[in-house]
Amino acid sequence: MKLTVRYEHALVFAHNIHRGQWRKGTDIPYMAHLLAVSSLVLEAGGDEDQAIAGLLHDMLEDQGARTSFEEIQQLFGGEVARIVRACSDTEELPKPPWRDRKAAYLQHLDDADPAVLRVSLADKLHNSRSILTDLRENGDELWERFNASREDQLWYYQGLAAVFAQRLPSPQQRDLAEVVDKLASTEVGMVTDIQ
């Protein structure tokens, strides 16, 4: 699959929108996550629209004041904009309560098409891997970075793993399930037991 100049333009656009943004509790530029998601999409057989959506997947949810569905659609086409919107758990500001958004997102994935599932799975796989890495490095204080408790985060990621197991069986889905199992099996205060 060939990437065209559209992908290059999406990289620049993503960098401009997310410039100055960091991964929660780290000094890692947010672009690292977007590049990882796009890479995972390509590794899973995604096309250029899906790879671009991987770069842009958090824009409406987290940077809606700096861009819009209409701008993404104008710049990168209707399919990219549709996937980005479908990978967002809200476009509202202020955001609705965390648990409500995540429950609705899990339900939404039950009907999502393969393109949306592929981008969403790449996002959730990279996020869960990052959580596991940070848990190994920082211990239980990691959970304080989030807007929800450890228990709520585990509920969400276990729900995601179950949905993807049913809707998109794949090596990446199995990787997500394995990471989520490691997160769930780690007792508070027993971080060194994660292998």
- Tell me which residues are annotated as active site: 61-62
Contact 90, 74 (CB under 8 A): no
Contact 118, 44 (CB under 8 A): yes
Contact 30, 22 (CB under 8 A): yes
What is the four-CA torsion angle of 143, 99, 107, 127, rounded to 10 degrees?
Answer: -20
CA distance 48 to 7: 7
